[in-house]
Amino acid sequence: MTRKIDPEGEIVTHIKNKDLVRKRRRQIVDAAVKLFIKHGYHKTTTRELAKETGLSIGSLYEYISTKDDILYLVAIAIHAEVEQGVKDALARPTHSKDALAEVIREYFLVCDRMSDHVLLMYQVTHFLPEKWEKKVLEAELRITNLFIDAMKQLRVLGKLPNLDDNTINLIGHNISIMGHTWAFRRWYFAKIFTIDQYIEQQTEFIMSYLEEAKN
């Protein structure tokens, strides 16, 4: 079920050894995430990237063909990590009586852990070459769909009111964005909430709508 995403196959390289390519690109992504978060994409130079990766610039350019490629690798890696986090939560047996709340909670915790990454995505997605921007938006949508599907399942079970699809879609996106919101409004929220309080309040907000509509 957990479809393996292999985006790297699309970035050209002259290196024959596939495992090596994977390994080096992982190094590149790790270095890039660190530097992009610190200085942003545009202000990070390929030289700095090479240095942080531990390769020479020459070698770096054997594994990618343009600086944009690195941005794409980073974007995909971040989305994959968030997606995995949510999927893990979905796979785990639910202790809470409310499965949806459980998923929301795990997702918000992922967003909390990865808030620098979330901010980075908002900064740079738009700078990807169109073809790759599309891929990244698809990844984003895949995550949102995890919430939407969870709600649709509950709807079938009669545990949720019979909302129409568009409304459920909207709620899914709202959940997704409320996670991001914790990341990019942390400068404010951290003054009045812990992450747990934030989760509790937002969950209540979402649930109250889903409950009320039931009647």
Partner DNA sequence: ATTATCTATAGATCTATAGATAATGC
Other CB atoms within 10 A of residue 37 CB? 16
Q: Is 162 in the site for its own copies (CB under 8 A)?
A: no
Q: Is 17 in the site for DNA (CB under 7 A)?
A: yes
Q: Is 185 in the site for its own copies (CB under 8 A)?
A: yes
Q: Which stretch binds its own copies (CB under 8 A): 2-10, 85-93, 97-105, 174-182?
A: 174-182
169: Cβ–Cβ under 8 A, 6 or more apart, which residues? 148
Q: Which stretch binds DNA (CB under 7 A): 4-12, 39-47, 113-121, 202-210?
A: 39-47
Q: Which does 137 bind (CB under 5 to 8 A by kind): its own copies, DNA, none?
A: its own copies
For every residue of the chain, which 3-state class applies, written as one string? CCCCCCCHHHCCCCCCCHHHHHHHHHHHHHHHHHHHHHHCCCCCCHHHHHHHHCCCHHHHHHHCCCHHHHHHHHHHHHHHHHHHHHHHHHHCCCCCCCHHHHHHHHHHHHHHHCHHHHHHHHHHHHHCCHHHHHHHHHHHHHHHHHHHHHHHHHHHCCCCCCCCHHHHHHHHHHHHHHHHHHHHCHHHHHHHCCHHHHHHHHHHHHHHHHHHHHC
Determine the size of the site formed for its own copies (CB under 8 A): 37
* Residue nearer to its own copies on the CB measure, 27 or 161: 161
Q: Is 187 in the site for its own copies (CB under 8 A)?
A: yes
Determine the size of the site formed for DNA (CB under 7 A): 21
Q: Is 14 in the site for DNA (CB under 7 A)?
A: yes
Q: Which of 65, 84, 94, 153 binds DNA (CB under 7 A)?
A: 65
Q: Is 133 in the site for DNA (CB under 7 A)?
A: no
Q: Is 155 in the site for its own copies (CB under 8 A)?
A: no
Measured between alpha carbons, how far is 91 from 168 in angstroms, rounded to an integer?
Answer: 21
Q: Which stretch binds DNA (CB under 7 A): 2-10, 13-21, 73-81, 132-140?
A: 13-21
Q: Is 38 in the site for its own copies (CB under 8 A)?
A: no
Q: Which of 59, 127, 129, 196 binds its own copies (CB under 8 A)?
A: 127
Chain mean position to CA 94:
22
Binding residues (CB under 8 A) for its own copies: these are 40, 42-43, 119, 122-124, 126-127, 137, 141, 166-167, 169-171, 173-174, 177-178, 181, 184-185, 187-189, 192-193, 198, 201-202, 205, 208-209, 211-213
